[in-house]
Amino acid sequence: MSRPGEQGSTDTFLERLQADWGRVLPELDSQPMLLPILVARLHQALSRRVEDTYRASGLNAANWDLLVTLRRSAPPEGLTLSELAGLTAVAGPTMTNRVDRLQQKGLVERLADPQDGRSWRIRLTAHAEALLDRLLPAHVHNEARLLSGLSAAERAQFERLIRRLLRDLEVPPG
- pLDDT tens sequence for the chain (174 residues): 444 445 568 889 999 999 999 999 999 998 999 999 999 999 999 999 999 889 888 999 999 999 999 999 989 899 998 899 889 888 888 899 999 999 999 999 999 988 887 889 999 999 999 999 999 999 999 999 999 999 999 999 999 999 999 999 988 877
CA atoms within a 13 Å half-sphere pointing along the CA-CB vector of 82: 4
In whole angstroms, give the CA distance from residue 37 to residue 16. Answer: 13
Residues in contact with 4: Cβ distance below 8 Å, sequence separation at least 6, in sequence order: none
Q: Are 108 and 99 in contact (CB under 8 A)?
A: yes
For the chain, what are the domain ranges?
1-49, 61-124
CA quadruple 104, 108, 109, 112: dihedral, nearest 10 = -130
* CATH fold for the domain made of 61-124: Arc Repressor Mutant, subunit A (1.10.10)
